[in-house]
Structure 1
Amino acid sequence: MTTRRFPEGFEWGMGTAAYQIEGGVHEGGRGPSIWDTFSHTPGAITRGDTGDVACDHYHRLDRDLDLLAELAMPAYRFSVAWPRVMPDGRTLNQDGLDFYARLVDGLLDRGIEPMLTLYHWDLPQALEDVGGWRSRETVDRFADYATLVGKELGDRVGTLTTLNEPWCTAYLGHATGEHAPGLRDPALAYPVAHHLNLAHGRAAAALRSVVPASARLSVTLNLQHVVAASDEQADRDAAEHARVLSNDVFLGPMLRGRYDDAVFEETARLTDWSFVRDGDEAECCVPLDFLGVNYYSPGRVSATPNDDPWPGSRTAFRVRMPELPQTVMAWPVQPSALTELLTDVHREYRVPLVVTENGIAGHDVVDAEHRVRDGHRIDYLRDHLGAVLDAVDAGADVRGYVAWTFLDNFEWAWGYEMRFGLVHVDFDTLVRTPKDSAHWLSDVIARNRLLLPERP
């Protein structure tokens, strides 16, 4: 075995999202979100599952925080449910805010660093009813929400993230209909993406004005590692088209204060970008302390239609990768793609990076000895942590890794069929059982080192 050590001060954690774990959707003054509405739409979610109960984290908060402490987790990335704090998207619900104050204080009492995300997809339904992210008005409401949370919790939270994966909100929520609010119009993806970019900028500026100077601000993007299916020019053009739609739509305005011309050119058939007003692009760009990068699998793109079209596009098509190992979700596994993604982003933008999500689903079960032997997850995590170290060795400024996810949970459109957790949840009894992978990761963190098989 080869021993590889992580940089001094490397940050570690596990992550979750509010709608996926909290439950208690009708309690404490919480209002409905678009995911409450969507999950109750017949046919939207596998087996008709909903997040009504999920992991019941709302009622089991202290026990879950104890479990994080038992696993010696240095940091915990969680999201605030906007409709719990502002049921109508506008008006404070003190009971909802108090829940997150207890969460933050409970983490600090246990020596765990809070990493707070403002928006992990659960828009208040009241705002969706008047246009949602298609409306510029939602940008202002998000800035108000950010200001409130920043004032109330920012003195105890060291890291605040504006948005999680706006790509999913824009494309899966509005172009393909796979996610809430379930709309299917590719042209809608671009005003939504722009309003998310603008909301990020305004929220980050608002946070900076109310939180301590020591607080770190970030945004988390699920950047796509896209390669062409062949060396043919048409395939290379299709891959570039997909990369621009997936990455540049967000990276340009957020990190440079402008959309690259390629964004307008590659989307001209769908939109004229008339919704971008003078000054918007600069407003999207607020200095960040790091960029969060979520990564699960690579993408291969062809100009020939042989699979699903790339979200938000009518010309690029995804290609299956049968030569690579596949997860139970049929996602290809290629750790080296994470290395390439991190080094590419570092080279292009020179921004500190934290891997804020990375993990693998499985059909995990508790055996007769009360263990969950998820060796496939240990292998996945080990290989991808090795890929992070490869990126560090190549010069990328990668400062941390947050595993996805703490608990088995409501996996969006997949319902409860897919388990990403490092802790098993029995969804009948809600009993938690740390998997072998949780103990393995705790050991890696404690030693700040990774043992890897010798390379041939």
Structure 2
Amino acid sequence: MPTTQLPNTSCLRPDFIWGVSTSSFQIEGATQEDGRGPSIWDVYCRSGEIRTHDTGDVACDHYHRYREDVGLMKTLGVQAYRFSVAWPRVLPLGRGSANEAGLSFYDRLIDKLLTAGIEPWLCLYHWDLPQALEEHGGWLNRDSVFWFANYASLIARRLGDRVKRFATFNEPSMFSLFSRSLGKPDRGCEDKLHLMIHNVNLAHGAAVDALRANVIDASIGCIHNRQPCRPSSASEADAAAARRLDVYWNAAYPDPQCRGTYPISMRGAIEPHMQPGDLARICRPLDWFGLNHYSPVYVKARPDSMLGYDFGDKPPAVPLTPIGWPIEPDAFRKTLQEVHTNYGLPIYVLENGYGDFGQPDQTGAVVDPGRIDFLRAYIDAMNDAASSGVDVRGYFVWSLLDNFEWDFGYSNRFGLTYVDYASLRRTPKSSFGWYAGLIKATRP
């Protein structure tokens, strides 16, 4: 049985925010209901590329069960909930006429959250680009900057009377490095990658301006996935590959967004896509830095691949989660310190969590001591970072629910709540009760 020991939170702020996170495509389902248009992930799922041949058609059916899920959050005691809007649900073609039924869903969700005393944190984009825009070039088309700004304005005007916390993008480094838009990761795709990075950065800046123009007292950030990139061996080739990936994974977005400049090593590749004034359009004032962190990545050289890298072997002594991700809480502490030093913004940890394959036992309970141990160790590391002066103001577990985990389909489970995908029944895991106890113990 898991222990009930709680982490050290003595150095966290009195107003520290505890929350949970999800995303639209991963939980909503209802992909063909109430006027929603297809997203690039609907199309990708139907291509058969998901290893389990899963789709997001039903997912957790949050679209119909959001009341139950808000009830789970209320029981958990979280102060905030980070979710994303499905762009194709509110703008089926990505632009043009809005879909009232889609907007009404988010009205109902937000009103339910506020009634429950939970602050909504709204992310505009968590990877589900409308397929109609993909057919016009998607993020490889500079017009995407205006499409996204107009979408941001729509959401701000409709929901900004109740929502004040906005993120422009979730993990832009991830969806650009591994995007469906780029095709196979060979060297011929690199120029498209640089074009996409620049257009997404421009879209971020345009969305910040749109949100500021339409929402009084808006609090705005962008959510970045930062994972230390380490060489898989002692070879200089692997070390060079790790340094190269680190630039694209960890710096290609926050550097221009927060500091007004691209990393030196990629500037020459970005310059052909720049127009006068672009860096000023990207570097707009932000209120906070959203950090997603799971583990370091280990990198080896692969000269024929995009950026000349591939994922390499992990050191045999490093403990792993059941899905094979390293467990290194000290890397989390160091990442928090680096973000604090490099960008000087308040930090909210908006994703951190543990993937496994856990199932109910004979009594129907889902006991997950590994997740509890992981969360305790990482929150301890966050407290250590705070003790050294890091301005960290919130922590959101990924995720409230087991959900569609992209290329892994429904095989990987990150939730505090177990979802039986056949019946859609929700069962809080032992980690759910542990996290509820932590929140209760740390509230004034």
Q: What TM-score results when the alignment is normalised by the length of structure 2?
A: 0.93
Residue in structure 2 matched with residue 204 of structure 1 by the alignment: 208
Letter paired with 1:199: A
User: Aligned pair 1:80/2:85, yes or no?
Assistant: yes
Letter paired with 1:50: T
Residue in structure 2 matched with residue 143 of structure 1 by the alignment: 149
Letter paired with 1:211: V
Counterpart-to-counterpart distance in 1, 2:55 and 2:347: 33
**Matched ranges for 1:337-352 at <5 A:** 337-352=331-346
Residue in structure 1 matched with residue 109 of structure 2 by the alignment: 103
Displacement after TM superposition at 1:234 (Å): 4.7
1:315–1:417 Cα change, 3 Å: closer
Residue in structure 2 matched with residue 112 of structure 1 by the alignment: 118
Displacement after TM superposition at 1:236 (Å): 4.0
Displacement after TM superposition at 1:3 (Å): 4.6
Counterpart-to-counterpart distance in 2, 1:204 and 1:311: 34
Counterpart-to-counterpart distance in 1, 2:270 and 2:77: 51
Match of 1:48 among 50, 53, 65: 53
| Equivalent residues of 1:343, 1:396 under 8 A apart | yes
Displacement after TM superposition at 1:235 (Å): 4.5
User: Aligned pair 1:191/2:195, yes or no?
Assistant: yes
Displacement after TM superposition at 1:301 (Å): 3.3
1:199–1:53 Cα change, 3 Å: same
Counterpart-to-counterpart distance in 2, 1:448 and 1:318: 40
- For residue 48 of structure 1, give the secondary structure of its aligned residue in structure 2: coil
Aligned residues: 436
Letter paired with 1:185: C
Displacement after TM superposition at 1:264 (Å): 2.5
User: Aligned pair 1:289/2:290, yes or no?
Assistant: no
1:176–1:298 Cα change, 3 Å: farther
Match of 2:394 among 388, 396, 400: 400
User: Aligned pair 1:68/2:73, yes or no?
Assistant: yes
Residue in structure 2 matched with residue 355 of structure 1 by the alignment: 349
- For residue 439 of structure 2, give the secondary structure of its aligned residue in structure 1: helix
Identity value in percent: 44
- For residue 18 of structure 2, give the secondary structure of its aligned residue in structure 1: strand
CA RMSD of aligned residues (A): 2.2
Residue in structure 2 matched with residue 89 of structure 1 by the alignment: 94
Counterpart-to-counterpart distance in 2, 1:21 and 1:175: 23
Displacement after TM superposition at 1:285 (Å): 1.0
| Equivalent residues of 1:363, 1:419 under 8 A apart | yes
Residue in structure 2 matched with residue 7 of structure 1 by the alignment: 13
Please give the per-residue CA displacement for 1:266-314, whole angstroms capped at 9, x wherever unaligned. xxxxx464111111111111111111110111123344x5xxx898411
- Range 280-289 or range 183-192, more displaced: 183-192
Please give the per-residue CA displacement for 1:195-225, whole angstroms capped at 9, x wherever unaligned. 1111111001110111012x21010010121
Residue in structure 2 matched with residue 453 of structure 1 by the alignment: none
Displacement after TM superposition at 1:412 (Å): 0.6
| Equivalent residues of 1:162, 1:203 under 8 A apart | yes
Residue in structure 2 matched with residue 220 of structure 1 by the alignment: 223
Residue in structure 1 matched with residue 159 of structure 2 by the alignment: 153
Q: What TM-score results when the alignment is normalised by the length of structure 1?
A: 0.91
Residue in structure 2 matched with residue 391 of structure 1 by the alignment: 385
Gaps of 5+ in 1: 266-270, 450-456
Match of 1:58 among 52, 63, 79: 63
Letter paired with 2:67: D
Counterpart-to-counterpart distance in 2, 1:60 and 1:316: 40
Displacement after TM superposition at 1:422 (Å): 0.5
Displacement after TM superposition at 1:240 (Å): 2.2
Please give the per-residue CA displacement for 1:208-263, whole angstroms capped at 9, x wherever unaligned. 111012x2101001012123456665554333222112122112210012213222
1:7–1:339 Cα change, 3 Å: same
Match of 2:367 among 362, 366, 373: 373
Displacement after TM superposition at 1:384 (Å): 0.6
Residue in structure 2 matched with residue 268 of structure 1 by the alignment: none
Match of 1:423 among 394, 417, 421: 417
Counterpart-to-counterpart distance in 2, 1:310 and 1:79: 36
Gaps of 5+ in 2: none
Counterpart-to-counterpart distance in 2, 1:4 and 1:16: 24
Counterpart-to-counterpart distance in 1, 2:420 and 2:183: 29
Letter paired with 2:113: L
1:415–1:311 Cα change, 3 Å: farther
| Equivalent residues of 1:346, 1:352 under 8 A apart | yes
Counterpart-to-counterpart distance in 2, 1:141 and 1:3: 45
Residue in structure 2 matched with residue 454 of structure 1 by the alignment: none
1:25–1:345 Cα change, 3 Å: same
1:254–1:3 Cα change, 3 Å: closer
Counterpart-to-counterpart distance in 1, 2:389 and 2:200: 31
Residue in structure 1 matched with residue 322 of structure 2 by the alignment: 328
**Matched ranges for 1:151-190 at <5 A:** 151-174=157-180, 185-190=189-194
Letter paired with 1:102: R
- For residue 291 of structure 2, give the secondary structure of its aligned residue in structure 1: strand
Residue in structure 2 matched with residue 274 of structure 1 by the alignment: 272
Residue in structure 1 matched with residue 33 of structure 2 by the alignment: 27
Letter paired with 2:64: H
